[in-house]
């Protein structure tokens, strides 16, 4: 459990720094779209969900900024292939 918690903390820290560095912002329209998506997913009236979720506006903003940071990383990722250091292991065992 500890290694997973540490990995998550590092990931969150890096995403927060990326959000800060790139200056990702969230518009009211993006928040409204996220609320509309939530209402549709739950099969509830938009106004009912909007009233509930507007109390959590800051959390929604953080989620959208994080999504933007992850999208940025995916769009700008450079994948490099490396040779395996596993030597004589079969390809079946290398996946482990």
Burial of 65 (0-12, 13-18, 19+ CB in 10 A): buried
Q: Which two tokens stand for residue 88?
A: 């004589």
Q: Which two tokens stand for residue 95?
A: 């996946």
For residues 80 and 82, give the distance between their C-alpha atoms in angstroms, rounded to a whole number. Answer: 6
Average pLDDT over residues 75-91: 72
Instruction: DSSP letter for 54, please.
Output: G
Per residue in 6-56, pLDDT tens? 888 999 898 999 999 999 999 999 998 998 998 999 999 999 888 887 788
Provide the whole-model pTM.
0.61
Please state the domain extents for the chain.
Answer: 2-76
Helix (H, G, I), strand (E, B) or coil at 60: helix
């Amino acid at each position: 459990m500890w290694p997973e918690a540490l990995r998550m903390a590092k990931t969150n820290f890096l995403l927060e720094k990326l959000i800060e560095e790139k200056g990702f912002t969230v518009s009211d329209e993006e928040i409204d779209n996220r609320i509309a998506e939530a209402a549709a997913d739950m099969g509830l009236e938009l106004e009912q969900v909007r009233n509930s979720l507007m109390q959590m506006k800051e959390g929604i903003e953080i989620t959208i900024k994080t999504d933007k940071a992850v999208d940025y990383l995916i769009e700008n990722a450079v994948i490099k292939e490396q040779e395996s250091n596993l030597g004589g292991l079969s390809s079946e065992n290398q996946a482990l």
